């Protein structure tokens, strides 16, 4: 169920098929030093997952990566945890008028989680504004669609599609996201802000977790932008 990856850090991998290809998606769970849980990109809240979460603590914050990634099951968390705070990414409140959000995440972490988790807005893309998170105690970077990572453990069909999308064994965005960057300087500055964090592990939005050497993987995955 939930896999402990580092200090106060767990992941849960869920199946996700997109255009007939198994992409998978990953939920991250962080236990804040103040006690509660910060959940990023929540998975479907099955009874098993609910029990596993309850063993760790009380769900206090639920955050997406963007308006496209990580908000699918938020209504289940709202219903199960009426006192939890739902956080939005830019553009998400308009997409999910059924949900009441506490606020829209920006570059400044809130004091309620800021001692444990830092955040950066990855900006400069035409339609995707994403939140990257850094969990300090476990030195983990958490991405969404700007960080696909399809490695050798993925199914053959997924690997073939990933090659076409230029994300095979590469931590980065699929080619169509690359080609629709609106302001390259802004996007580059965002990725440099992410690289300033001292992370070792990377949890991609889709694909395989990189348990160490994540800095180097991100540098290599973004060589087309950074050089």
Please, what is the minimum distance in Å from the beta carbon of residue 205 to Fe ion?
A: 5
Neighbour tally for 162: CB within 10 Å: 23
Binding site for Fe ion (CB under 5 A): 69, 145, 205
CA nearest neighbour of 170 among 197, 199, 208: 208
Please, what is the minimum distance in Å from the beta carbon of residue 170 to Fe ion?
A: 16
Q: How far apart are CA 154 and CA 40, in angstroms?
A: 23
Residues ≥6 apart with Cβ < 8 Å to 225? 184, 187, 188, 191
The smaller minimum CB distance to Fe ion, of residues 56 and 123, is found at 123
Per DSSP, 150 falls in state B
For residue 61, what are the CA distances in angstroms to 39, 40, 43? 6, 8, 14
The smaller minimum CB distance to Fe ion, of residues 32 and 194, is found at 194
Rounded to 5°, the CA angle 183-187-192 comes to 150
218: its two tokens = 């991100």
Please, what is the minimum distance in Å from the beta carbon of residue 145 to Fe ion?
A: 4
Please, what is the minimum distance in Å from the beta carbon of residue 112 to Fe ion?
A: 26
The smaller minimum CB distance to Fe ion, of residues 32 and 218, is found at 218
Please, what is the minimum distance in Å from the beta carbon of residue 197 to Fe ion?
A: 21
Please, what is the minimum distance in Å from the beta carbon of residue 95 to Fe ion?
A: 14
* Secondary structure (3-state) at 130: strand
The smaller minimum CB distance to Fe ion, of residues 116 and 145, is found at 145
CA nearest neighbour of 132 among 164, 171, 159, 75: 171
The smaller minimum CB distance to Fe ion, of residues 69 and 71, is found at 69
The smaller minimum CB distance to Fe ion, of residues 124 and 205, is found at 205
Chain position whose Cβ is nearest to Fe ion: 69
The smaller minimum CB distance to Fe ion, of residues 41 and 116, is found at 41
Please, what is the minimum distance in Å from the beta carbon of residue 40 to Fe ion?
A: 12
Return the residue matching tokens 């802004």: 186
Q: How far apart are CA 173 and CA 166, in angstroms?
A: 8
Neighbour tally for 123: CB within 10 Å: 17
């Amino acid at each position: 169920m939930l896999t402990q990856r580092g200090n106060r850090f767990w992941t849960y991998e869920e199946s996700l098929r997109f255009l007939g290809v198994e992409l998978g998606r990953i939920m991250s769970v962080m236990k804040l030093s103040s006690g509660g849980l910060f959940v990023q990109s929540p998975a479907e809240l099955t009874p098993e997952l609910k029990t596993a979460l309850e063993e760790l603590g009380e769900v206090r914050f639920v955050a997406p990566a963007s308006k496209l990634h990580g908000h699918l099951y938020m209504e289940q968390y709202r219903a199960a945890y009426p006192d939890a705070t739902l956080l939005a990414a830019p553009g998400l409140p308009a997409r999910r008028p059924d949900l009441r959000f506490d606020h829209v995440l920006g570059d400044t972490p809130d004091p309620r989680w800021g001692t444990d988790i830092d955040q950066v807005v990855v900006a400069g893309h035409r339609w995707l504004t994403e939140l990257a998170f850094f969990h300090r105690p476990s030195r983990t970077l958490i991405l969404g669609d700007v960080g696909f990572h399809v490695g050798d453990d993925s199914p053959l069909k997924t690997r073939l599609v990933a090659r076409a999308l230029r994300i095979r064994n590469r931590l980065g965005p699929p080619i169509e996201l690359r080609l629709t960057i609106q302001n390259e300087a802004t996007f580059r500055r965002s990725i440099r802000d992410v690289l300033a964090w001292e992370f070792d592990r990377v949890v991609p939005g889709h694909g395989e977790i990189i348990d160490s050497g994540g800095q180097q993987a991100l540098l290599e995955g973004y060589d087309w932008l950074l050089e």
